[in-house]
């Protein structure tokens, strides 16, 4: 299984809970928004933490799709 992860930069408010919960996938950029470090996730543990981050994001701007 593989999943594509992306953040809608127009919606992200820089809450940063994503980077706290899942630093292997998300990092905060100089623009104060979240940027995925990886584009495609192939590891289930990474997928689980990315999913947790997506659910925790207050504006639901993290998108995870089957690749
Ligand atoms: Fe942005 Fe949501 Fe993370 S608002 S910084 S993607 S928790």
Neighbour count for residue 57 (Cβ, 10 Å):
21
**pLDDT-derived band at 57, boundaries 50, 70, 90:** very high
> Is this prediction's pTM over 0.75?
yes
Domain that includes residue 8, residue range: 3-66
CA atoms within 13 A on the CB side of 11: 11
Looking up residue 55, the CATH number of its domain turns out to be: 3.30.70.20
Distance 54 CA to ligand 1 centre (A): 8
pLDDT band for 45, please (50, 70, 90 cuts): very high
What ligand 1 atom has the least distance to the C-alpha of 16? 5
Ligand 1 centroid distance, CA of 38 (Å): 16
Average pLDDT for the chain: 97
Number of domains making up the chain? 1
pLDDT in tens, 9-32: 999 999 999 999 999 999 999 999
Q: 6 CA to middle of ligand 1, Å?
A: 11
Protein residue with least CA distance to atom 2, ligand 1: 57
> Once rounded to an integer, what is the mean pLDDT over residues 31-58?
97
């Amino acid at each position: 299984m593989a999943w594509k992860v992306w953040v809608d930069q127009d919606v992200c408010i820089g809450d940063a809970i994503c980077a706290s919960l899942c630093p292997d996938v998300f990092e905060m950029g100089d623009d104060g928004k979240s940027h995925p470090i990886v584009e495609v996730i192939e590891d289930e543990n990474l997928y689980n933490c990315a999913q947790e981050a997506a659910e925790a994001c207050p504006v639901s701007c993290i998108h995870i799709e089957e690749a």
